[in-house]
């Protein structure tokens, strides 16, 4: 009886007590930086919701919607590599070498992204690359790959911000570049500090601008090549028949452009980092992965075809291959006799550069947070606040971003060249890691008697696509070694070698150091020891198969044109 009275009095007390005053938006914003609701506090329903959202995400919020991931996959990292760096590749290799290197590299990237899509749909976990390395290869390999990838994005942010100031000097070079750097730095900081949802929205807008600019350039390219520009000059393929021809430096020129093409396509793997923050990975990620095909076809192959037709590889403007004045896209428009459009396209380049800087903060902070979660970095690095922001990762990224103010220094180019050399091979190593993890995953599935029917997305290239990718990337590393040691038109050069190949030394040091620390001398895990269930959001195979059959049945009822559109777009 006394117990019943006590319970009734407790209920009445809770009912009659005044409701807490609603929080102001400023107070809500401050509280969002606090740790997530710990177990035992708050309402049980809130705790269960938090635990469900956190499954596989490491505390990150699944707030990226379909449109966010589609735009990140389409053009989230299109920046200086394509819009500016391709000019240097054109000058070194020639128009034919440009298409060959970018075409072959594109096929490899497509295979790698499909392999990544298979892994991400099966294991939509935080940190993708280093997590998969830990799951399917080895802890030391995960440590080396993860930190090398994080370091790359740490230095990409200040580099992209400085490139943004170069875009401004196209119009006005009298203002101190440090002032423009400060504005761009604050913009990137605000976008990321408000959470992943705002990062996604920013990428939607910025990528739409890039998409319209590239498509507009392709249409303009058709007009100019056919003689429809202000000069009414039929260009055709005359730039393929110059004194040096379509190949300006023979095989060595082609080999050098392979390296440039690989760097230009860096960031394609960024869609994998979104896996832990996507609302429905099983449905959203496959469509985003397929859209990489359009990114490669539109952004790279078609646009660079017209660049090679409109700009001569012998153009003096391509010699520097730095700054927006060296952008082959702007040069092509200027050569066509159009006066206002170069400034408009230069503004698009500025937007692209800011987009890559934005992606650099996202990629770096998530990778650092994941390294902390796996125990490959101090535990504090794993901290994620109530809004799903990896605060320590963001703080480190913004701290290194302050290097952008070196743009006011007279010899900032040399400083940035050496900073970038530390992680210059990070993208190639990340791609090798993805392909290797996919091979190990497939071999473990076969060894443990698991069927591919339990996968919601299967790479159409299978295990052989990943094997081809590894072989091709090893070839690129060998070519990079050759061109770094013996630069174009020069003898052996130690300084040039370390500027271009120091990243290989750094990742080797990371790997060996972790082996010495952990004293685990195995090269990789045994296939029988690989855990194929932990990290999967759903392991109810019957439910997955039933959902897939329902989707296929509904799709068969649609017209063929709609089915093709739904699959690729």
What pLDDT does residue 559 have?
Answer: 76
Q: Is the pLDDT of residue 182 over 80?
A: yes
> Closest by alpha carbon to 218, among 315, 309, 288?
309
Please, where are the H alpha helices in 316-450? 328-335, 341-373, 391-401, 412-421, 426-447
Contacting residues for 259 by C-beta, under 8 A, at least 6 apart: 476, 479, 480, 483
Is residue 350 in some structural domain? yes
Sign of the CA dihedral 443, 449, 451, 454?
negative
CB 459 within 8 A of CB 114: yes
- Asked whether residue 523 carries a pLDDT value surpassing 50, the answer given is yes
Give CA–CA dist 444/525, Å, rounded.
Answer: 10
Instruction: Please determine, for residue 54, whether its predicted confidence score (pLDDT) is greater than 60.
Output: no
* Rounded-to-integer distance, Cα 397 and Cα 189, Å: 10
The predicted structure's pLDDT at residue 434: 92
Per-residue pLDDT, 28? 61
Between 68 and 385, name the one with better pLDDT.
385
Q: What is the pTM of this model?
A: 0.83
Residue 187 is encoded by which pair of tokens? 């913009």
Q: Give the angle subtended at the CA of 553 by the CAs of 548 and 557, to the nearest 5°.
A: 145
Instruction: Tell me how far the alpha carbon of residue 166 is from its chain's centroid.
Output: 23
* pLDDT score recorded for residue 134: 86
Q: What is the pLDDT of residue 468?
A: 93
pLDDT digits (tens, 9 = 90+) for 530-551: 888 776 665 566 666 676 677 6
Report whether pLDDT(31) > 70: no
DSSP state, 278? B
Domain annotation covers residue 14:
no
Q: Is the pLDDT of residue 153 over 90?
A: no
Q: Is residue 47 part of a domain?
A: no
Flag whether pLDDT at 312 surpasses 50: yes
Residue 66 has pLDDT above 70, yes or no: no
More confident residue, 537 or 454: 454
Instruction: Give the SS3 label for residue 64.
Output: strand
Q: Are 77 and 268 in contact (CB under 8 A)?
A: yes
Q: Are residues 450 and 226 in contact, defined by beta-carbon separation less than 8 angstroms? A: no
Neighbouring CB atoms inside 10 A of 399's CB total 10
Residue 315 pLDDT > 50? yes
The answer to whether 461 and 423 have CB atoms below 8 angstroms apart is: no
pLDDT digits (tens, 9 = 90+) for 101-118: 888 888 888 898 888 888
pLDDT of residue 525: 85
pLDDT category of residue 52 using cuts at 50, 70 and 90:
very low
Q: Decide if pLDDT at 59 tops 70.
A: no
**Using CA atoms, how far apart are residues 413 and 177, in angstroms rounded to an integer?**
14
Q: What is the pLDDT of residue 461?
A: 85
pLDDT at residue 259, rounded to an integer:
76
User: What integer pLDDT is reported at residue 566 of this predicted model?
Assistant: 64
**pLDDT for res 297:** 76
Cα-flanking dihedrals φ and ψ of residue 278, to 5°?
Answer: -100, 140
Q: How many helices (H) and strands (E) does the chain have?
A: 25, 0
Fill in the DSSP letter of residue 300.
I
The pLDDT value given to residue 65 = 65
Beta bridge partners of 64: 278
CA distance 63 to 274: 10
What is the CATH number for 153?
1.20.1740.10
**Nearest Cα residue to 530 out of 433, 423, 438, 455:** 438
Answer for the pair 407, 176: CB distance below 8 angstroms, yes or no. no
Decide if 229 is inside a domain: yes
Q: Report yes or no: 36 and 384 within 8 Å, Cβ to Cβ.
A: yes
**Which two three-digit tokens encode residue 372?**
């902390």
The rounded distance, in Å, linking the Cα atoms of 40 and 62 is: 23
Q: Which of 29, 35, 28 is nearest to 380 (CA)?
A: 35
Lowest mean pLDDT of 134-138, 411-415, 435-439, 443-447, name the range: 411-415
3-state secondary structure of 97: helix
Nearest Cα to Cα of residue 289 among 464, 119, 153: 119
User: How many domains does the chain fold into?
Assistant: 1
Predicted local confidence at residue 464, as pLDDT: 92
Q: Does residue 133 lie within any of the structural domains?
A: yes
Model confidence pLDDT, tens digit, residues 186-238: 888 888 887 777 777 777 888 888 888 888 888 888 888 888 777 777 777 78
Residue with tokens 């006394």, as numbered in its chain? 2
Question: Can you tell me the distance from the alpha carbon of 420 to that of 432, in angstroms, rounded to the nearest whole number?
Answer: 20
Average pLDDT value for residue range 120-137: 80
Q: How far is CA 371 from the centre of its chain?
A: 17
Which tokens belong to 442? Answer: 């497939």
Span of 260-269, 417-426, 481-490 with lowest mean pLDDT:
417-426
CA–CA separation, 31 and 427 (whole Å): 37
Residue 325 has pLDDT above 60, yes or no: no
Mean pLDDT of 157-178: 76
**Integer Cα distance of 263 and 281 in angstroms:** 27
User: Which domain covers residue 273, as residue numbers?
Assistant: 60-538
User: What mean pLDDT do residues 425-434 have?
Assistant: 88
Please say if the pLDDT value at position 87 is more than 70. yes
Can you tell me the distance from the alpha carbon of 525 to that of 523, in angstroms, rounded to the nearest whole number? 7
pLDDT number for residue 469 = 92
**Model pLDDT, residue 40:** 46
Q: At what angle do helices 328-335 and 85-93 cross, to 10 degrees?
A: 80
How large is the C-alpha radius of gyration of the chain? 25
Task: Give CA torsion, residues 144, 150, 154, 160, to 10 deg.
Answer: 110
pLDDT at 15: 47
Mean pLDDT in residue range 106-131: 82
- 127 found inside a domain: yes
Residues 153, 360: contact at Cβ < 8 Å? yes
Counting residues of the chain whose pLDDT is more than 70, the rounded percentage is 75
Report CA-CA distances (Å) from 504 to 145, 152, 424: 11, 13, 8
Note whether 159 and 416 are within 8 A (CB). yes
- Neighbour tally for 481: CB within 10 Å: 14
386 pLDDT higher than 80 = no
Question: Looking at residue 180, what is its pLDDT?
Answer: 81
Three-class SS of residue 355? helix
Average pLDDT for the chain: 76
Domain contains 44: no
**pLDDT band (50, 70, 90) for residue 471:** very high
pLDDT at 6: 57
Give the pLDDT of residue 569. Answer: 58
Surface-to-core class of residue 151, CB atoms within 10 Å of its CB (0-12 exposed, 13-18 middle, 19+ buried): buried
Indicate if the pLDDT at residue 347 is higher than 90: no
pLDDT at position 73, please?
A: 64
* In-domain check, residue 20: no
Query: If we measure between CA atoms, which residue out of 202, 13, 92 comes closest to residue 483?
Result: 92
Q: What is the pLDDT of residue 39?
A: 47
- Rounded to an integer, the average pLDDT of 268-273 is 72
* Band of pLDDT at residue 45, cut at 50, 70 and 90: very low
């Amino acid at each position: 009886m006394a117990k019943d009275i006590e319970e009734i009095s407790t209920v009445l007390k809770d009912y009659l007590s005044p409701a807490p005053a609603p929080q102001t938006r400023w107070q809500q914003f401050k509280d969002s930086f606090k740790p997530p609701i710990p177990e035992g506090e708050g309402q049980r329903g809130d705790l269960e919701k938090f635990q469900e959202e956190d499954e596989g995400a490491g505390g990150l919020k699944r707030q990226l919607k379909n449109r966010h991931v589609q735009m990140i996959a389409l053009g989230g990292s299109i920046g200086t590599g394509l819009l500016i760096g391709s000019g240097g590749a054109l000058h070194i290799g020639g128009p034919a070498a440009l298409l060959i290197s970018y075409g072959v590299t594109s096929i490899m990237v497509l295979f790698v992204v499909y392999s990544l899509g298979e892994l991400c749909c099966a294991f939509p976990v935080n940190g993708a690359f280093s997590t998969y390395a830990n799951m399917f290869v080895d802890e030391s390999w995960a440590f080396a790959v993860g930190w090398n990838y994080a370091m790359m994005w740490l230095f990409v942010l200040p580099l992209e911000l400085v490139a943004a100031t170069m875009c401004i000097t196209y119009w006005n070079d009298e203002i101190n570049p440090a002032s423009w750097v400060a504005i761009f730095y604050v913009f990137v900081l605000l976008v990321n500090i408000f959470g992943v949802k705002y990062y996604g929205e920013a990428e939607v807008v910025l990528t739409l601008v890039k998409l319209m600019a590239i498509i507009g350039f392709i249409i303009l390219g058709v007009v100019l090549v056919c003689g429809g520009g202000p000069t009414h000059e039929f260009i055709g393929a005359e730039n393929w028949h110059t004194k040096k021809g379509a190949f300006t430096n023979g095989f060595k020129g082609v080999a050098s452009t392979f390296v440039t093409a690989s760097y230009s396509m860096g960031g394609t793997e960024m869609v994998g980092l979104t896996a832990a923050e996507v609302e429905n990975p099983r449905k959203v990620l496959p469509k985003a992965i397929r859209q990489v095909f359009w990114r490669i076809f539109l952004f790279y192959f078609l646009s660079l075809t017209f660049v090679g037709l409109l700009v001569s590889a012998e153009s003096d403007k391509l010699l520097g291959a730095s700054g927006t004045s060296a952008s082959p896209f702007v040069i092509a428009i200027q050569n066509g006799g159009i006066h206002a459009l170069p400034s408009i396209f230069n503004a698009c380049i500025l937007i692209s550069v800011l987009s890559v800087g934005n992606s650099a903060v996202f990629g770096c902070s998530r990778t650092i947070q994941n390294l902390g979660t796996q125990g490959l970095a101090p535990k504090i690095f794993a901290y994620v606040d109530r809004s799903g922001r990896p605060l320590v990762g963001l703080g480190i990224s913004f701290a290194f971003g302050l290097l952008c103010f070196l743009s006011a220094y007279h010899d900032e180019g040399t400083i940035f060249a050496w900073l970038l050399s530390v992680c210059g091979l990070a993208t190639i190593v990340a791609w090798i890691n993805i392909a290797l993890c996919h091979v190990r995953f497939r071999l473990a599935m076969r060894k443990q008697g698991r069927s591919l029917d339990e996968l919601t997305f299967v790479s159409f290239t299978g295990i052989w696509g990943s094997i081809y990718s590894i072989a091709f990337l090893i070839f690129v590393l060998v070519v990079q070694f050759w061109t770094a040691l013996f630069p174009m038109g020069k003898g052996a050069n130690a300084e040039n070698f370390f500027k271009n190949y120091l990243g290989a030394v750094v990742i080797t040091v990371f790997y060996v150091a972790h082996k010495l620390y952990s004293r685990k001398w195995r090269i990789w895990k045994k296939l029988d020891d690989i855990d194929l269930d932990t990290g999967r959001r759903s392991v109810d195979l019957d439910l997955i198969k039933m959902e897939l059959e329902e989707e296929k049945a509904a799709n068969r009822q649609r017209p063929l044109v709609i089915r093709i559109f739904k699959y690729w777009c």
